[in-house]
Amino acid sequence: MVDRREFLVGAAAGLIGLALPPSGSAQQAATTRLTDRLSLITAGGTNVLAYAGAEGLVLVDSGAPAQTDTLMAAVRQVSTSRPQSITLFNTHWHLENTGGNEAIRAAGATIVAHENTRLWMATPVWSPAEDRYRQPRPAAARPDKTFYDTGSMTTANERVEYGYLIAAHTSGDIYVRFRDANVLAVGDVASPARDPELDWFTGAWIGGRVDAMARLLTMCDDRTRIVPGYGPVMTKAQLQAEHDVMKTVYDRVFDLVRKGDESTDMLKAGVLNGLPRTWKDPQRFLYDVQKGLWAHHNKLSPDVV
């Protein structure tokens, strides 16, 4: 059996272009070329962007832990030469989006994220849904370069811009914009293929999500390809449609939360009726909406108790 250290060393070697024996357990990732240098890699449903240039390799998110060897093999296919540098952006702290951090760090990567993402990864976090604490991530998995507002970098001929999206999915969400390629990575701030998640315990709420999507729309034109953390690539029109659904839900639940209604009451009141999408677990979604709104009660109305 391969121990953890051997796995990380082997994965790192594969990422930088050295020999890596094939893993019998690895499943093949789906890779889609967005440009000659920018590829979308999907392993286990989670999206990873890889920009491969002679000057460096830029990755957005690192996938789920069980898919790390699959991701490494796919990255090796799109990055055939040894990069001078490796930069990994984490769009937020959730494990399914940051599971490969340690292996990519072992290859010499700099991990960039919002400061709140680093804090959540370094702290025991209570999970209400699981009724337990999630233990801190190992130091090697945590970002080593953080920011608060915006930043940018240039690799080859590509301008990469990134910025904070306040309280949209967690309290540490960011976008990563490949400006010249006209590709925008938004993490789980957009959710075309599964119920939108509002991690209220770590700071998200529906108002923050609506505002974040409105900001993202200002960065798009009709040719922009928007890459969510999970699910198919979106157009500006599709992101607009999701924004409009979230804004409608916000408007419908606003007064109900002020009156003290719970998620069951809101569901019975039909706040999700007549919308152009459905929910796998509407009760859970509205519970998160309710909890997030009460956490931001000062935005409900000046007369809320």
> DSSP states of 243-270 as a string?
HHHHHHHHHHHHHHHHTT--HHHHHHTT
pLDDT at residue 193 greater than cutoff 60: yes
Main-chain phi, psi angles of 56, to 5 degrees: 175, 165
Give the CB-side neighbour count of residue 196, counting CA atoms within 13 A.
Answer: 28
The pLDDT of residue 253 is: 94
pLDDT at residue 82, rounded to an integer: 78
Query: What is the distance between the alpha carbons of residues 257 and 304, in angstroms, rounded to a whole number?
Result: 10
* Digit-coded pLDDT (tens) for 96-123: 999 999 999 999 999 999 999 999 999 9
Position 9 pLDDT exceeds 80? no
pLDDT, average across residues 194-200: 96
Enter the DSSP assignment of 21: P
Say yes or no to pLDDT of 19 above 50. Answer: no
pLDDT band at 44 (very low <50, low <70, confident <90, very high): confident
Average pLDDT rounded to a whole number, residues 65-80: 91
Predicted TM-score (pTM) of the model is 0.90
Angle at 201 between CA 185 and CA 162, to 5 degrees: 20
Sequence-distant (≥ 6) Cβ neighbours of residue 56 within 8 angstroms? 83, 84, 85, 86, 87, 155, 156
User: To the nearest whole number, what is the mean pLDDT of the chain?
Assistant: 89
